[in-house]
Amino acid sequence: MTLTEILRTDKVLLNCGDLLTDKGTTHSYIEAFYESAFLPYKKKDIELFEIGISGGSCLYLWKRYFENSKRIIGADIRPGVIGEQFKNLSGVEHFYENAYTSEFASKIPDLDIAIDDGSHRIEDQLRFIEIYGPKLKTGGLLVIEDIHEPSYPDCRTRLEEAAKSLGSSFESKWYDLRSVKNRPDDQVIAIWRR
């Protein structure tokens, strides 16, 4: 089942109201990026980490999609941000602390996928690359969503330079999806570890 199919048919997601992830509604990330980017990982026993729980439905979506996942880990600085129906999912862990620190990163395993959907501040996005890039396993993917170029005019250059600073085994690609739903923050940088 694709991510789009899960979003359109899963009864838990259809009934979660305001807790539904914005990745395939307000933003165009599901159809324009994640469907193809995540396909190589779909059947693998991955470890996925996302900063920004915001309701918890996205962690549920990842758990449904990555059927063989070892662990799905979410972090948010806002305790209580997760909906009741997403609190006790098997194979899903939640942390309520600042994940933009090396101290926090030391608590979690090396990762197959790391997603930053947290503060959306360029300083934190750069820190995310610095901290979690080295935690990516070979073949791993690091994603930063909601890059708001109008607020940070030099963000693309800075994020791409941060990706390059990880070393020659990393490559990045910029996805400008602003024209899909006319959102000024619909930009993503994806960084793969080869």
Q: Looking at the predicted structure, is the pLDDT value of residue 12 above 90?
A: yes
Mean local confidence (pLDDT), 119-130:
97
Q: Which range marks the domain in which residue 121 is found?
A: 3-193
Domains contained in the chain, number? 1
Q: Give the integer Cα–Cα distance in Å for 27 and 43.
A: 25
| Mean pLDDT score of the chain | 96
The residue-averaged pLDDT of 38-67 equals 97
- C-alpha span between 143 and 123 (Å, rounded): 15
Mean of pLDDT values over 165-188 = 96
| Burial zone of 17 (CB within 10 Å; 0-12 exposed, 13-18 middle, 19+ buried) | exposed
pLDDT at 154: 94
Query: Max alpha carbon distance in the chain (Å)?
Result: 45
Q: What is the pLDDT of residue 79?
A: 86
Query: CATH number for the domain including 57?
Result: 3.40.50.150
Confidence of residue 56 (pLDDT cuts 50, 70, 90): very high
In angstroms, the Cα distances linking 179 to 15, 24, 26, 27, 182 are: 29, 15, 13, 11, 5
Per-residue confidence at 105, pLDDT binned at 50, 70, 90? very high
